[in-house]
């Protein structure tokens, strides 16, 4: 049994027509005309396009399009049974992989909600079990001063409580703090503590020396 491609190709050659001439007349691109004659269905957009191309091409060649389409249907069924036709025909390659139905949209939104819920839960849990952030910008460890006053400066979480040597220090809205302390000549220890609202504590100790002359 002759294939669609053989019938179309033989008729084109009998009429001494080039692909370029046919393309100009019926506006089907040359590569698609070649694919039809080679029975290369996977090079064509979809089953609907294949049928349309066959109809237009066979009509232009003065062939009965219904007869050619009947040959294609027989060939298609045979090829499909023998697994010759690529998947692009039975499942057109321009068909979206995911079809958005109400069910898929509902499942997608539900999945997004669950992911967001667990991410939020994770961060809440981490905030409960973790101590607050604490950065001490001044003083540096081992700093030597020639004055008996010291500015202690740093930053922590905005909702935390800061104590320096057991004295509560006010924070601004960004969690920044600064306070001035009196020191004694010699070695002084400065203990900075940040306590989260869940009771978790982070402590940084700085040792400074005051040298007076």
Closest CA to 90 of 77, 103, 71, 99: 77
pLDDT 10s digits, 43-102: 888 888 888 899 998 888 888 988 888 888 887 765 444 444 444 444 443 445 556 688
The token pair that represents 156 in the structure block: 């922590």
Q: How many CB atoms lie within 10 A of CB 127?
A: 15
139 preceded by a cis bond (ω within 30 of 0): yes
Question: How would you class 141 by CB atoms within 10 Å of its CB: exposed for 0-12, middle for 13-18, buried for 19 or more?
Answer: exposed
Domain 134-210 falls under CATH 2.60.40.10: yes
Report pTM. 0.44
Helix or strand or coil: residue 170? coil
pLDDT 10s digits, 152-177: 999 999 999 999 999 999 999 999 99
Least confident interval from 93-107, 108-122, 140-154, 159-173: 93-107
Closest CA to 192 of 166, 150, 164, 157: 164
Predicted confidence at residue 202, as pLDDT, reads: 92
- E strands of the chain, at which residues? 134-138, 144-145, 149-156, 161-164, 167-169, 176-182, 186-195, 201-210
- CA dist., res. 63 & res. 8, Å (int): 9
Domain 4-90 falls under CATH 3.10.310.30: no
CA distances from 199 to 129, 162, 176, 193, 195 (A): 9, 12, 19, 12, 6
């Amino acid at each position: 049994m002759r294939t669609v491609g053989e019938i179309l190709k033989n008729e084109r050659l009998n009429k001494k027509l080039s692909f370029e001439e046919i393309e100009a007349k019926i506006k089907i691109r040359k590569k698609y005309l070649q694919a039809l004659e080679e029975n290369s269905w996977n090079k064509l957009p979809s089953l609907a396009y294949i049928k349309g191309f066959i109809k237009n091409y066979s009509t232009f060649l003065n062939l009965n399009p219904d007869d050619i389409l009947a040959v294609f249907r027989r060939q298609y069924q045979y090829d499909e049974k023998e697994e010759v036709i690529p998947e692009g025909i039975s499942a057109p390659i321009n068909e979206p992989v995911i079809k958005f139905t109400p069910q898929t949209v509902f499942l997608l939104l539900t999945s997004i909600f669950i992911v967001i819920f667990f991410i939020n839960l994770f961060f809440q849990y981490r905030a409960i079990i973790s101590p607050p952030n604490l950065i001490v910008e001044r003083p540096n460890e081992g700093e030597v001063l020639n004055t008996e006053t010291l500015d202690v400066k740093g930053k922590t979480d905005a909702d935390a409580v800061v104590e320096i040597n057991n004295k509560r220090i006010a924070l601004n809205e960004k969690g920044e703090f600064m306070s001035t302390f009196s020191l004694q000549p010699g070695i002084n220890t400065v203990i900075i503590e940040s306590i989260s609202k869940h009771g978790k504590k982070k402590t940084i100790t700085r040792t400074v020396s005051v040298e007076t002359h």
